[in-house]
Chains A and B, each alone.
Chain A
């Protein structure tokens, strides 16, 4: 610690010296950023060189080829299907996992700790990775996409739900113990009525996220409209690509809007 002399009292006052720590942190950050830039081969020149390419690309993206919508309507419906099923299965599986992870319901650490650990594990894996994995197992199609979305959904819904469960009013839980309910009845009549509407809200939110995710899972062969990105980009048919993008955007916006409206009613 540095010390200075107080001018009036003539006493030594200690001043906490963060300067060293600050400088070190900043130096560390700058070196991390620099090294990253070097590793990635970041160069402004290639960006500037690439700029005309990007402009060309943007030009070719507009106007979108709207007639292409006929081709992609079916895949878009498949995308939505995948999202619906993935979210539903994920929601069902989330219920026991969330109950096992909530410390006020699963009072034994031997149940709650592994349960949370499993959940955290699942949440580290990105959705596209899950999809790629399932495609390798089940082959190309919508099925791996549904599996991937199911697991992805469990990660989101179970975490949000168990946090909600841990925040409920313990009063009704006490009442159910007093009434002579066993654990399951206790959960059904004490816990569930308190978290049901929040749970539904989480499920709808996850559905929103899943629609976006499902739209790109096709890139790895997991069904839906994503497949067509590769096709159109590969053939340089950028106007068709922008149709896909636009279509996805519109569907996502509509579903977001509807879902938000329903969620407002739930609370």
Chain B
């Protein structure tokens, strides 16, 4: 059947560009796969995997509470304590940086640009590395973890907070200045009440993330439940690994739930 069309449709433009993208992606993948290690299924692998699952599903319940020494609850509380303090420190310290970085609060691009740069720098800096450095400085333990978490959180909190400040309605501030208030009073009564709910919301959100980070920090020796976990992993004590993982998951789920509820109330 011959098809005659009264007008010929215009074909897609730039098939060349599409092919360039596809070919370069293929190259990337060939390169990536060529370096991929082969999955070695050793004879012992199946035994290992079955013992892992056996251990994970029969957690070492004794470890949960041991009045004498180290136990799961203590470890989790340590982790929480690190997260709490780290978040608090960051919340306090980020305020001046956020105001510095906000373009409507500081005079001139130089100030806000440098503020933004400092915050970006802190954010890009891996927190694990920060923790390692702090361990070298103040010794291993929870304190190093707190410092690392605190400084690192300033990056994210500062950014969120400064963006919030930039989107502020400055009308009320103007009104207060008109009543004769000095800049500090003006900010206290006009700016702070506007941003307090979202600030608290950000802080709680960061706290959720920090609880997870705090569990990791222990793995490199900065205190919390991570240390017993890595120990149990290295000696292949799967029952203990199981109960610790369970504890961590439970803790994170509960914290997420509570903080979600609080944040709902705030907004």
Residues of A within 8 A of B (CB): 32-33, 35-37, 39-43, 46-47, 50-51, 53-54, 57, 77-78, 81, 84-85, 88, 120-121, 124-129, 132-133, 135-138, 141-143, 146, 212, 215-216, 219-220, 226, 229, 233, 245, 248-249, 252-253
Task: Given A129-B215, A129-B248, answer yes or no on A216-B126 (Cβ-Cβ < 8 Å).
Answer: yes
Task: Given A33-B84, A78-B35, A220-B230, answer yes or no on A46-B132 (Cβ-Cβ < 8 Å).
Answer: no
In the complex, A138→B147 CA distance in Å? 33
Cross-interface CB contact of A35 among B32, B36, B81, B223, cutoff 8 Å? B81
CB of B74 to closest CB in A, whole Å: 9
Which residue on B lies nearest to A120, using beta carbons? B253
In the complex, A31→B112 CA distance in Å? 36
Query: What is the number of residues of chain B that contact chain A, defined by CB distance less than 8 Å?
Result: 58
Q: In the complex, which residues of chain A have a beta carbon less than 8 angstroms from the beta carbon of B48? A: 137
Contacts A/B (CB < 8 Å), 10 sampled: A33-B84, A40-B81, A40-B85, A54-B134, A84-B29, A124-B256, A128-B216, A133-B233, A143-B39, A249-B124
Q: In the complex, which residues of chain A have a beta carbon less than 8 angstroms from the beta carbon of B28? A: 84
Q: A37-B85, A146-B36 are in contact. List 6 more A-B contacts (CB 8 A).
A: A54-B137, A78-B35, A81-B32, A125-B249, A137-B49, A220-B219
**Residue B212 interfacial (CB < 8 Å):** yes
Q: In the complex, which residues of chain A have a beta carbon less than 8 angstroms from the beta carbon of B77? A: 39
**B32 pairs with A84, CB closer than 8 A:** yes
Chain B 202-226 per-residue mask, 1 if CB under 8 angstroms from chain A, else 0: 0000000000110110011001001
**A36 pairs with B80, CB closer than 8 A:** yes
In the complex, A53→B138 CA distance in Å? 7
In the complex, A81→B229 CA distance in Å? 28
Task: Given A39-B142, A81-B35, answer yes or no on A129-B229 (Cβ-Cβ < 8 Å).
Answer: yes
